[in-house]
Amino acid sequence: MNPADLPRELTCVPPPETDALLAAVRAVAQGPLKQQVEAIDRQGHYPRAVLQELAKLGAMSAHLDMPAGPGSYALAIQAMAEVSRVCGATGFMMWCQAVCGLYMQQSGNPGLMGDVLLRHASGAGLGGTALSNPMKSYAQIESLLLRATPVEGGYLVNGNLPWVSNLGSDHYFGAIAAVMAGDAPADREVMFLLRCDAPGVELRECPSFSAMEGTGTWGVRLKDHFIGAGEIMADPAKPYIARIRAAFVMLQCGMAVGVTQGAIDSMWAVESQLGHVNQFLEDRPDTLQAELDALTRRVMTLADTPFEPSAEFFIDVLDARAHGAELCLRAAQSALMHQGARGYLMSSEVQRRVRESHFVAIVTPAIKHLRKEIARLSAEEQPA
Ligand SMILES: Cc1cc2nc3c(=O)[nH]c(=O)nc-3n(C[C@H](O)[C@H](O)[C@H](O)COP(=O)(O)OP(=O)(O)OC[C@H]3O[C@@H](n4cnc5c(N)ncnc54)[C@H](O)[C@@H]3O)c2cc1C
């Protein structure tokens, strides 16, 4: 039997409720989502209904502590992988929604928790994250793009963000601005929830991307946008980011695992016909599957302690995320080699996945950013 025909779990042996959630997520991914993938990729269709269906199942809030019970990062990552296996763009939006929920819950701000968070978890509220620029700023790759000027009761925020995903006119996202002392930065940042329909917020169309067109990605211009106590997630932001950074990065592994699995599926799909010649290729599906399974087990272990504060743990998370991106690139490329001309058709999921794998490699933290951080933190860890 062709291994691609087997209902393959992306984990070892999940407990029953995990099993039920993943089966429901898989049904949405292989059903309504699969039918829309081409429209998402080629026409920029934003799959709002699918995202809301996934949210109702608990797929994007599985990591959050809820009245029903404590969260599971392992489950959230597996759910994202099931979706990314079919559509990398939707898998990325699951991550956007999931980290936005993480920001809200970890803020401890009553205005962003309780019913507001439950609304977010249910998918009635949709949101994203604009933390690429701050994450790169903390890694000394670029400077902060938003500036927050203190005023009575809060801040006025100004600046432009080039791209923020999972947005629409009624959406919101977590952002960070440099706090100003007069004309100069005050060496402190503030993190806040930014609502797209608030005064002083303008969404601007982005240029066309090579993939991820249906991800609701917009440029955001802020002109004297007021944020007050109800929006603040962390002030100062740095200690908060240090607390959530491993959780933020590890959740992205769901995208890498899923896109890689989808590429392996495409290799098996042509095995009976082309195996006689494909056997001469590198990165065969059984080898890649073994590497992916080992990486998945590693990520599942890391997911047991998402808020472990040590630098050593964070380095391990960065390394697993980098391995995921590299494996994803190799698998997508190898799937194209395995499928040949049929994989080169514009309508083929194989060439779409090549473009999706490029995104996994460049979305913050990009492979180069991951390597820079691993080098910096490892040097700090060395005894003097
Ligand atoms: C489809 C898509 C969706 C994204 N969604 C989000 C999101 O939801 N949230 C988020 O925070 N970030 C988002 N990003 C940004 C992403 O995470 C990376 O930060 C970005 O791709 C650049 O990362 P890099 O490390 O490779 O920087 P580099 O590409 O090395 O960039 C270096 C600098 O040049 C700038 N730059 C390069 N090319 C251009 C250009 N054409 N126009 C303007 N500036 C440019 C970069 O912003 C950066 O400041 C998205 C990017 C894309 C392409």
Concatenating the DSSP letter of every residue in 7-56 gives: ---SSS---HHHHHHHHHHHHHIIIIIHHHHHHHHHH----HHHHHHHHH
Whether 367 has a pLDDT exceeding 70, the answer reads yes
pTM of the model: 0.94
Separation of 289 CA from ligand 1 center, angstroms? 31
Structure tokens at 227: 């944020």
Q: Do domains 128-237 and 240-381 have the same CATH topology?
A: no
Q: How far apart are CA 139 and CA 54, in angstroms?
A: 33
Rounded to the nearest whole angstrom, what is the distance from the C-alpha of residue 369 to the centroid of ligand 1? 12
* Angle in degrees, CA 147, 136, 213, rounded to 5: 90
- Residue among 262, 240, 218, 215 nearest 359 (CA): 215
Label the pairing between strands 154-164 and 201-205: unpaired
CB distance 275 to ligand 1 below 6 Å:
no
3-class DSSP assignment, residue 140: coil
For residue 244, pLDDT over 70 is answered with yes
pLDDT value, residue 16: 55
CATH number (3.50.50.60, 1.20.140.10, 3.40.50.300, 1.20.1540.10) of 240-381 reads 1.20.140.10
The pLDDT, as a whole number, for residue 68 is 81
Q: Is the dihedral of CA 147, 152, 154, 158 positive or negative?
A: negative
- Among 166, 358, 362, name the best residue to mutate to test ligand 1's pocket (greatest count of ligand atoms within 8 A of Cβ): 362
Q: How far is ligand 1, taken at its centre, from the CA of residue 366, in Å?
A: 10
Q: Which residue has the tokens 């269906």?
A: 53
Of the options 2.60.410.10, 3.40.50.1240, 2.40.50.140, 2.40.110.10, the CATH number for the domain spanning 128-237: 2.40.110.10
Give tens-digit pLDDT for 279-305. 999 999 999 999 999 999 999 999 999
| Bridge partner list, 151 | 154
Mean pLDDT, range 300-323, rounded to an integer: 98
pLDDT, mean of residues 175-179? 98
Structure-block tokens of residue 121:
């978890």
State the architecture of 3-126 in CATH terms.
Answer: Orthogonal Bundle (1.10)
362 lines ligand 1 (CB under 6 A): yes
Predicted confidence band at 15 (pLDDT cuts at 50, 70, 90)?
Answer: low
> Which residue lies with its CA nearest to atom 47 of ligand 1?
162
How many angstroms is it from 163 CA to the middle of ligand 1? 7
How would residue 3 be classed by pLDDT, with cut points 50, 70 and 90? Answer: very low
Give dist(CA 382, CA 325) in Å, integer. 26
Ligand 1 atom closest to 211 (CA): 1
pLDDT higher than 70, residue 7: no
Residue type, 9: E
Predicted local confidence at residue 74, as pLDDT: 97
Domain limits of the chain? 3-126, 128-237, 240-381
From the list 198, 237, 190, the residue with the least C-alpha distance to 220 is 198
- pLDDT at residue 11 is higher than 60: no
> CA angle, 30 as apex, 39 and 24 as ends, to 5°?
125
Residues 6+ apart with CB under 8 A from 377: 311, 314, 315, 318
165 lines ligand 1 (CB under 6 A): yes
H or E stretch at 129: strand 127-129
Q: How far apart are CA 349 and CA 38, in angstroms?
A: 8
Q: Report the mean per-residue pLDDT for the chain.
A: 94
Nearest Cα residue to 43 out of 167, 211, 165 = 211
Residues 6+ apart with CB under 8 A from 209: 217
Residue 157 CA: distances (Å) to CA of 179, 184, 231: 9, 14, 12
* Structure-token match 């928790």, residue found: 113
**Which one of 40, 165, 196, 371 would you pick to mutate in the ligand 1 pocket, going by the greatest count of ligand atoms within 8 A of its CB?**
165
Span from the CA of 362 to the centroid of ligand 1 (angstroms): 8
Q: pLDDT at position 343, please?
A: 96
Could you tell me the pLDDT band of residue 2, with boundaries at 50, 70 and 90?
very low
